[in-house]
């Protein structure tokens, strides 16, 4: 059985003795019962505890508490009437805010006088006394601030009525003349600055800064001169004071709330509850627990959570509000037996969305339950539940990362995860040209076809997979080696015209790949320039796009050229950052060029760019554009690859042809899952082997 603790604690962790003598006696008895080993004495202590609980209402402290609560109730009732009388006695000429603050100060003065008599009886009275005392101390300062600003505003309004219109008009004409002269002078100075730039005396940056400074100076001069006009000065003064008044009141009230929040943290609360009850009674209705705990504004937010759970998430999961589907049930039926217009894919997507909505709802229900449970446990231990001011401050400080991440998380769920899960589910169906509108679950049949290399689509899978791996390794490695070599070459001190060569080597990355690929595709096509050149050199008809080996070789070379520019750019940046002292030290030690390359250059470069090089491998594994644009996956060899793929197709282009061209979406989805898992696994292996990953830099 849960026992009372001898001490309470505040929000900071400080310990406080109980003021409730009845609960203190119970806590002491609980301690003695725990420590007592003699059964007879333990039984006597338990009997004493039962008698104490049975005579709870007769305990002197509880009698005093009851009297206090009765007197408090009568006091608050009488305070309400006296407060209304006090407000009526205030002058009607008072500012509404000052009127409100004076009434509030009267209210808290009366409360201070009442609660100070009961400070030693209960922590609740001590907190209310402290809260009212803070108000009494700080409200006069706020009133004084408001009255001071109001007085200045009244004087300004009086001055406004006394202004001489003729003097105002004359000064406006003088200001106009001043502006024209100042502008003329400014333009002349700008002209001089531009002439100095033409003569080469100053740089372009100096010219820009000088012109900006002249324009700023002109603005300030005009603004300063405009304040000589009484109406302008008066108007700006009034605006300034009104802004100062508005911001000042907010600032002072914020300080007041912060001080009250500080008192809440330092003064504990004392309740007779021993274990959380509200959290376990209200988990199905978010907001109710917060309301019972006295957190009204937080309760509004969680009531909105309840609305989402019971009027959006659950109804949608049951099929209400779906476009065609039946919520989660639609995942099982997949529109089987439905109307002709019903599509299994829509049923599946809406079922997946329903699951995610339910998961979000469960997460919100748990968050509400945990919030109430934590608040209730804190209250039992002595920590007061945070008020709205504290909650809001916590949200903007500790909760800011979560709040700012929430939109991105929702986008990830509905734009990324829903399509991924749908693709995974489709891979367990028989969605094919014969079952486009309606399809059913078939388990792991598609994965079996792929693994065993059977069926129309699965029979060529391993041939394409092997070529994809070869392509990825060879094309990417070629690009890395070529880019690294070119970077080393251009970085050499003996090379002249470095800017020119860097521009040339970056062009493949700067120019859209679409243009480069199509250019080479046209050049090696029958009748293309490269084809004709090869014919004249070798005196034989060489058609690259009609030969599997030549097409694959051409693709590797093209990708090596395209990818080298990116690697060149990365490597150049790292090479320029390597300290020259390292090479000088190596020269002193007698290291050869090869040793400096192996011991200094390569390790430092790889440390910086190894993770990016890994992404190049994963990118090329799924490089659809170069395959499709160059030869559409051809040349085609029906005897080995059937009618669904060409001999240069990668898995990604094969998936495209299966899903979008030939309507074999299910097996295409299975291959997509296989590709994704493979890429993630090998990318992880690559990252893990990099030095930056091992040292925690990634």
For the stretch 621-663, pLDDT in tens is 989 999 999 988 989 888 888 888 899 999 999 999 999 888 9
Q: Are 687 and 611 in contact (CB under 8 A)?
A: yes
What does the pLDDT look like over 39-98, one tens digit per residue?
888 899 889 989 998 999 999 999 999 999 999 999 999 999 999 999 889 888 888 889
What does the pLDDT look like over 129-140, one tens digit per residue?
999 999 999 999
Over residues 174-203, the mean pLDDT reads 88
What does the pLDDT look like over 272-310, one tens digit per residue?
888 899 999 999 999 999 999 989 999 999 999 999 999
What does the pLDDT look like over 420-479, one tens digit per residue?
999 999 999 999 999 888 999 999 999 999 888 887 777 889 999 999 999 999 999 999
The percent of residues above 70 in pLDDT, for the chain, comes to 98
Query: Residue 169 has what pLDDT?
Result: 87
Query: Residue 552 has what pLDDT?
Result: 94
CA distances from 188 to 184, 196, 198 (A): 6, 13, 15
Q: Which residue has the higher pLDDT, 396 or 118?
A: 118
**Any idea which residue has 């305070």 for tokens?**
79
Closest by CA position to 256, among listed 399, 95, 145 = 145
Which tokens belong to 479?
């690009």
Over 70: is that where the pLDDT of 401 sits? yes
In order, the DSSP letters of 366-434 are HHHHHHHHHHHHHHHHTPPPP-HHHHHHHHHHTSHHHHHHHHHHHHIIIIIIHHHHHHHHHTTB--STT
Over residues 313-331, the mean pLDDT reads 91
The percent of residues above 90 in pLDDT, for the chain, comes to 45
pLDDT averaged over every residue in the chain = 88
**Any idea which residue has 């301690």 for tokens?**
31
Over residues 384-403, the mean pLDDT reads 83
Q: How deeply is 471 buried, as exposed, middle or buried, from its count of CB atoms within 10 A (0-12, 13-18, 19+)?
A: buried
Rounded to whole angstroms, the Cα distance separating 578 from 607 reads: 12
Rounded to whole angstroms, the Cα distance separating 19 from 23 reads: 8
Over 80: is that where the pLDDT of 689 sits? no
Rounded to whole angstroms, the Cα distance separating 72 from 132 reads: 15
Residue 449 CA from chain centroid, whole number:
42
Over residues 340-350, the mean pLDDT reads 91
What does the pLDDT look like over 351-367, one tens digit per residue?
999 999 999 999 999 99
Query: Residue 698 has what pLDDT?
Result: 46
Over residues 563-579, the mean pLDDT reads 85
What does the pLDDT look like over 221-231, one tens digit per residue?
888 888 888 88
Q: Which residue has the higher pLDDT, 267 or 227?
A: 267
Q: Are strands 15-17 and 7-9 parallel, antiparallel or unpaired?
A: antiparallel
- DSSP-derived 3-state class of residue 324: coil
The dihedral built from the CA positions of residue 176, 178, 184 and 186, taken in this order, carries a sign that is negative
> What band does 692 get if pLDDT is binned at 50, 70 and 90?
low
Over 60: is that where the pLDDT of 413 sits? yes
> What band does 1 get if pLDDT is binned at 50, 70 and 90?
very low
Rounded to whole angstroms, the Cα distance separating 618 from 651 reads: 13
């Amino acid at each position: 059985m849960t026992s009372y603790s001898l001490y309470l604690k505040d929000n900071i962790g400080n310990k406080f003795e109980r003021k409730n003598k009845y609960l203190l006696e119970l806590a002491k008895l609980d301690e003695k019962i725990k420590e007592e080993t003699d059964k007879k004495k333990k039984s006597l202590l338990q009997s004493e505890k039962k008698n104490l609980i049975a005579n709870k209402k007769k305990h002197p402290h509880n009698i005093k508490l009851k009297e206090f609560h009765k007197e408090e109730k009568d006091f608050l009732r009488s305070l309400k009437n006296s407060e209304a009388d006090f407000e009526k006695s205030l002058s009607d000429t008072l500012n509404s805010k000052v009127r409100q603050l004076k009434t509030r100060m009267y209210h808290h003065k009366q409360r201070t006088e009442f609660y100070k008599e009961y400070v030693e009886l209960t922590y609740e009275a001590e907190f209310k006394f402290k809260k009212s005392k803070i108000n009494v101390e700080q409200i006069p300062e706020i009133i004084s601030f408001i009255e001071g600003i109001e007085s200045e505003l009244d004087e300004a309004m009086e001055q406004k009525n006394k202004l001489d219109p003729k003097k105002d008009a004359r000064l406006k004409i003088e200001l106009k003349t001043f502006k024209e002269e100042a502008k003329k002078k400014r333009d002349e100075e700008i002209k001089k600055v531009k002439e100095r730039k033409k003569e080469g005396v100053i740089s372009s940056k100096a010219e820009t800064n000088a012109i900006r400074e002249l324009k700023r100076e002109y603005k300030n001069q005009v603004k300063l001169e405009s304040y000589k006009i009484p109406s302008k000065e008066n108007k700006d003064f009034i605006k300034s004071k009104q802004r100062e008044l508005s911001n000042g009141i907010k600032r002072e009230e914020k300080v007041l709330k912060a001080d009250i929040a500080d008192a809440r943290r330092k003064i504990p609360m004392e309740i007779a509850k021993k274990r959380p009850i509200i959290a376990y009674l209200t988990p199905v209705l978010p907001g109710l627990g917060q309301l019972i705990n006295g957190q009204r504004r937080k309760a509004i937010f969680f009531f909105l959570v309840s609305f989402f759970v019971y009027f959006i998430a659950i109804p949608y999961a049951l099929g209400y509000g779906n476009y065609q589907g039946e919520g989660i049930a639609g995942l099982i039926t997949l529109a089987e037996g439905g109307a002709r217009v019903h599509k299994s894919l829509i049923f599946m997507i809406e079922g997946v969305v329903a699951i995610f909505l339910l998961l979000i709802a469960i997460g919100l229900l748990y968050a509400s339950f945990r919030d109430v449970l934590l608040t209730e446990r804190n209250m039992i231990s002595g920590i007061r539940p945070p008020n709205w001011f504290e909650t809001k401050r916590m949200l903007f400080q500790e909760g800011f990362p979560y709040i700012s991440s929430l939109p991105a998380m929702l986008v990830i769920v509905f734009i990324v995860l829903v399509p991924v899960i749908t693709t995974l589910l489709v891979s367990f169906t028989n969605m094919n040209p014969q079952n486009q509108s309606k399809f059913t679950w078939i388990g792991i049949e598609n994965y079996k076809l792929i693994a065993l290399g059977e069926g129309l689509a699965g029979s060529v899978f391993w041939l394409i997979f092997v070529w994809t791996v070869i392509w990825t390794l060879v094309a990417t490695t070629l690009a890395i080696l070529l880019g690294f070599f070119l970077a080393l070459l251009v970085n050499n001190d003996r090379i002249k015209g470095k800017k020119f060569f860097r521009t040339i080597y970056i062009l493949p990355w700067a120019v859209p790949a679409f243009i480069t690929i199509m250019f080479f595709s046209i050049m090696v096509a029958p009748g293309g320039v490269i084809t004709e050149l090869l014919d004249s050199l070798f005196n034989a008809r060489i058609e690259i796009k009609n030969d599997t080996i030549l097409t694959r070789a051409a693709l590797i070379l093209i990708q090596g050229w395209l990818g080298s520019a990116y690697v060149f750019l990365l490597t150049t940046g790292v090479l320029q950052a390597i300290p020259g002292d390292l090479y000088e030290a190596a020269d002193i030690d007698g290291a050869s060029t090869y040793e400096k390359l192996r011991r200094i250059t390569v390790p430092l470069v790889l440390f910086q760019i190894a993770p990016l090089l890994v992404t190049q491998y994963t990118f090329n594994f799924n490089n659809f554009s170069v395959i499709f644009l160059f030869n559409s996956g051809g040349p085609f060899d029906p005897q080995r690859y059937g009618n669904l793929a060409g001999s240069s197709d990668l898995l990604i282009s094969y998936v495209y042809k299966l899903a979008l061209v030939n309507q074999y979406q299910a097996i295409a989805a299975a291959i997509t899952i296989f590709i994704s898992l493979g890429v993630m696994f090998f990318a992880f292996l690559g990252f893990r082997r990099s030095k930056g990953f091992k040292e925690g830099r990634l």
